[in-house]
Structure 1
């Protein structure tokens, strides 16, 4: 990025040790922002922070499990003491879940909602005092195209991202009078460690999806562009946009298509 439109701005990214989070950290840094990287893996975070600092900005790495209130409070204290405030919060940390709804466990569903929904609420609420009063402040919530349409064998994950979408809409209207913009970015299939860490219902595993995946860097580029423009909703990948439109205009037909899409599945012994 030739210009540095986020120069001297402070951006906090959760789930920043790999994948979309790490790519976003570098993309915002290239745009001139100082970056706070939060995740559980401290060794990966410190390595990521060095990569970010090599781009000529400041980086702060903070080990944080966003499902723990005390960790989130510590994170915000570190941001406040180091930078004095926050301009952009990127809620990126997330967890996947695969398998039919009747086969996933209640514990698995609770884990997914704890990270994808409750942690997003927890971090956002804690960050608001640091965002208030900062001109152009933003909250960027990373959802998924699957938050716009439930698919078979992904119902638990889809439900968590649909909750993110609804919370984003509510938060957007609640914070608008204060000048804090709330944006939603919905990636499609992305090359990252996400599938490696995803939970599976017992006896279920997904084979490779026959779709071209975006790179994490492409997602990050589109995220920063949406952030720069203040775009409310960004749905990424052409298949993702087609899916959302098909579900809106021909939902019955898309039900049948979705059923066929669920076929490339294997059951483990």
Structure 2
């Protein structure tokens, strides 16, 4: 293993079957953590668990739909049974939505909020008793997006769900500070994962290639684990992402025009 900074600690990662979640699990395991892998795709989860174990780590794969209360309760029960506690919760599971506000359905928007926001709340609430038992020093890491800091055309539904995560993170950070539980926010920019393939689309809408360089899932995971190690309260990833947040703060009107070009809207034929 690469290092032992998290030796003996237990990290639970949702959405761990692929992309950022998978890479994050491997990154924590490489630093000595025992990892709990949660996602709906059981076979893919077991593949990730085998990767962790092949590198000398220990992993528990738990099939879990984070939108289901009974699944989440079982996830935390199995975590306690296997490892006795929990030190780090990484709320990573997410679902995208593409299309204009007038185009996506209420059902689509509710689904996105259920996965990105309400499930995050559900998992966090269920995990708090285990995290409190390991405080001070326990952590909650919420994976947001640069779109939670600045909306772009045709990505408003997804961005709104992440903006809700951002505000919740700030509130939760203040609420848990006295207990020694740190609450961190990591906001990736464009990342090379299956995320865009799996997201929901307003009827008739698809997105062309975005003219920005994507960050690898592995690079995002390394940055996340670095933030976890250092206790950084907020991390915004990719240079374009940081510039976008800064430009929106300094010149929001001007950035509106830039945002229309970044979104590169394309209606499917």
Fold in common (TM above 0.5): yes
Quote how far apart the aligned CAs of 1:30 are: 0.3
Question: Equivalent residue for 1:196?
Answer: 197
Quote how far apart the aligned CAs of 1:265 are: 2.7
Quote how far apart the aligned CAs of 1:57 are: 1.8
Question: Equivalent residue for 1:235?
Answer: 236
CA distance in 2, matches of 1:2, 1:204: 44
CA distance in 1, matches of 2:156, 2:129: 34
Quote how far apart the aligned CAs of 1:256 are: 1.1
CA distance in 1, matches of 2:132, 2:12: 15
Question: Equivalent residue for 2:11?
Answer: 11
Question: Equivalent residue for 1:69?
Answer: 69
CA distance in 1, matches of 2:133, 2:65: 27
1:1-269 map, 5 Å: 2-134=2-134, 135-262=136-263, 264-269=264-269
Aligned positions, number: 268
Give the secondary structure class of the aligned counterpart of 2:29: helix
In structure 2, list runs of 5 or more residues that go unmatched: none
- TM-score normalised to structure 1 length: 0.98
The answer to whether the Cα contact below 8 Å between 2:189 and 2:241 also exists between their aligned partners in 1 is yes
Q: Deviations over 1:170-217 (max 9, x none)?
A: 000000010000000000000000000011100100011111100000
CA distance in 1, matches of 2:32, 2:262: 41
The answer to whether the Cα contact below 8 Å between 2:99 and 2:201 also exists between their aligned partners in 1 is yes
Q: Deviations over 1:18-73 (max 9, x none)?
A: 00000000000001000000000000001110001122121000000000000000
CA distance in 1, matches of 2:84, 2:114: 29
Give the secondary structure class of the aligned counterpart of 2:57: coil
The answer to whether the Cα contact below 8 Å between 2:85 and 2:133 also exists between their aligned partners in 1 is no
The answer to whether the Cα contact below 8 Å between 2:211 and 2:262 also exists between their aligned partners in 1 is no
CA distance in 2, matches of 1:238, 1:266: 25
- TM-score normalised to structure 2 length: 0.98
Q: Which runs of 4+ in 1 moved over 3 A?
A: none
Quote how far apart the aligned CAs of 1:93 are: 0.1
The answer to whether the Cα contact below 8 Å between 2:154 and 2:265 also exists between their aligned partners in 1 is no
CA distance in 1, matches of 2:268, 2:3: 51
CA distance in 1, matches of 2:234, 2:262: 25
Quote how far apart the aligned CAs of 1:260 are: 2.4
